Chain A
Amino acid sequence: MKTPNASSLQPLALAALAALALSCAAAQAADAVKVGLLSTLSGPGAGLGIDIRDGFQLAVKQGGGKLGGLPAEVVVADDQQSPDVARQTADRLIKRDKVDFMTGVVFSNVMLAVGAPTFASKTFYISANAGPSQYAGEQCNPYFFSASYQNDNLHEAVGKTVTDKGFKRVALLAPNYPAGKDALAGFKRFYKGEVVLESYTPLNQLDYGAEIAKMRAARPDAVYIFLPGGLGINFIKQFVGAGLSKDMTLFGPGFSADEDVIKAVGEPMLGMFNSSLWAHDLDNPANKKFVADFQKEYGRLPTLYAAQGYDAARLIDGAVRDVKGNLADKTAVRKALEAARFESVRGPFKFNTNHFPIQDYYLRVVTKDPQGRVTNRTLGTVFKNHADAYVGSCKMPAA
């Protein structure tokens, strides 16, 4: 720091000029890009947030610590799966840390709490998981981009698969909270047969003895569950232990049959069909590099959460590069994000007018791979270029 000298004003004027020049340069290109990664890093849902974080950090690391050519600073924070905590922490990230982008939230009820303060401060939110229908429809927002999916999508894909495979009697099970009801609504949108049993359980219930007994009595030929994290782990173990897997085929969204669940359940998962927007065996160069690097870095197979975190980082990377680091021009940044110029690990990817993806959804099955690991194998594509059901009610303001 130079102290101004009273006897000579010239150095002071020079310093002022220099400061002016510097601040102009800042308007041209930021000297760093700051990302607030607010995710669930504790409690039963921690595994999901950890994978999003690790996927995101991997992309930053691959770019030599940069996003779009600018040094990247990722501020990681825990939302404790609580909307209250999340909202306070989001305020801190936006106001004190002054982040340019927000990302990371796992659960939709948390997302709805974080959205309002983020959009009000004109900070871009890049979702690496939660895709609530509200933000896809009437409350769609220029500052919200989903690099994942819309909540209903994976369930729609299974609904279609179950119908295509000729199952006529299905039992449904989901937690008794908004996303659980949306999930079964999504499933039923594409399922044409009969629903013989529809059960909702408390979000913290871990013993499914009663529900399994009801399923045994209702005699469905297929069972569809939306039970994220630990809930799915328990249900599947108990379902197999009760001997129901012999008579009924089990289906779930990718969340209920990803590597985190497989790691905990093991062999009883074999043969479970599930839907996903990504799989670790998808054959494209970006995915091959991602899966190999992720395993090298963390010593485990990535989940779809990790893939979404990775893609969120790469979406930001592409947009920052597009605007040549000029993050102050919000309109330009928005246009660059909308263009989505990055190679997604899931293959073709583009944004719809509501900033939710139009993408393919795949059917996977849990099998043993040639190395003897229990893991997912992709069977085929259920939907090609699938959009969500809410885009019609979104009136996105023009850029």
Chain B
Amino acid sequence: MTGVLVLEQSLNGLQFGLMLFLLAAGLTLVFGIMDMINLAHGSLYMVGAYLIATAAAATDSFWIGLAAGVAGTALLGMLLEVTVLRRLYQRDHLSQVLGTFAILLMANEGVRMLWGAQPIALNPPASLAGPVELLPGFFYPAYRLLIIGVGLGVALLLYVLVTRTRLGMQVRAGASNREMALAMGTNVRRLFTAVFGLGAALCAVAGGMLGPLLAVQVGMGESILILAFVVIVIGGIGSIRGALFGALLVGVVDTAGRTLIPLAFGHWLGPEAASGAGPAVASMLIYLLMAGVLFWKPRGLFPAHG
């Protein structure tokens, strides 16, 4: 029984970590290459989920909805970059935080005006709504397995893109030394727009995959954005590899903490104290992890800059 619990929690941690990675990958690229703090990253995640839910409802197919929503969000992200964010690159971080925070607020209100204040439904494909038997007697939700598969697939695709293509080379160059990449003749404007579109598309994939599991609602981007920032701080700003390891670490630690800490507290302190302190400590765990990483490796586990 305990073995099943550990196995199920490991899969949950992996699934959560991979989705965090999709968000953190875009965030770390934008932060690393453009030196831009983008608080509106979570809004792209929210808008992506809304677009996918709307397209899925209109076409009656989760997959068409996903494709249309991801494409739409990528376009929207590029539009946002060209019209607004481009003007913030040269400003200091405070202006960027204020500017993108304004976009976040406007996105929330805009979504509320278009779709209403109540959460909207995004259902997984009917064939994946139930559980599958992974081992004899061990059932796991099919949809969470799909999320793991998509997450791994996107991570692999991103790896190939970053290490094997010209765009990836420019991205790596930009992340490790921006001025030098500029001097070597990289078309920065086009690169930035492309990176931003890619980040937006990854957000939308995460939004579309998590939408059926969580809720498609106004403000859904904020809580996960904080976690994505934790991930890139742990992983090292600008590093895709760091984002992947950081995301998996945060996913596993968070999931394991929520099971083990109340259990351990219950063992030592009795059920009354455990029900009060257990959840509180469990939700602090990833921030303790981040504090530890910052203490011993202030530049993150996989620093990108040379």
Contacts and interface: CB of A to CB of B under 8 A. Distances in A.
Contacts of B142: 241
A243 B139 contact: yes
Given A241-B143, A264-B120, A209 B215 contact: no
Contacts of B1: 217
Contacts, number: 112
A265 B121 contact: yes
Contacts of A202: 279, 283
Contacts of A176: 275-276, 279-280
A199 interface: yes
A216 interface: yes
Interface in A19-62: 41-44, 46-47, 50
Contacts of A237: 212-213
A210 B217 contact: no
B215 A230 contact: yes
Nearest to B8: A213
A216 B4 contact: yes
Interface string B251-281: 0000100110010000000010001101110
A233 interface: yes
A230 B12 contact: no
A46 B223 CA distance: 18
Contact of B12 (A50, A201, A209): A209
A76 to B, nearest CB: 14
Interface string A235-259: 0011011110000000000000000
B214 A43 contact: no
B287 interface: no
A209 B144 contact: yes
A234 interface: yes
A207 B118 contact: no
Given A210-B12, A234-B213, A47 B5 contact: no
A210 B119 contact: no
B141 to A, nearest CB: 4
Interface stretch (B28-36, B123-131, B177-185): B123-131
Given A200-B275, A213-B259, A243-B141, A42 B117 contact: yes
Nearest to A43: B219
A265 B119 CA distance: 10
Contacts of A209: 8-9, 12, 15-16, 144, 255
B143 A264 contact: no
Interface in B213-252: 213-215, 217-219, 223
B219 A44 contact: yes
A12 to B, nearest CB: 54
Interface string A266-289: 101000000000000000000000
A169 B283 CA distance: 28
A139 B279 CA distance: 30
Contacts of A240: 129-130
A204 interface: yes
Given A42-B112, A213-B12, A233 B119 contact: yes
A194 interface: no
Contact of A214 (B5, B120, B139, B280): B5
A213 B5 contact: yes
A292 interface: no
Given A206-B215, A213-B8, A233-B215, A241 B144 contact: yes
B59 interface: no
**3 closest Cβ contacts across the A-B interface?**
A243-B131, A46-B117, A209-B12
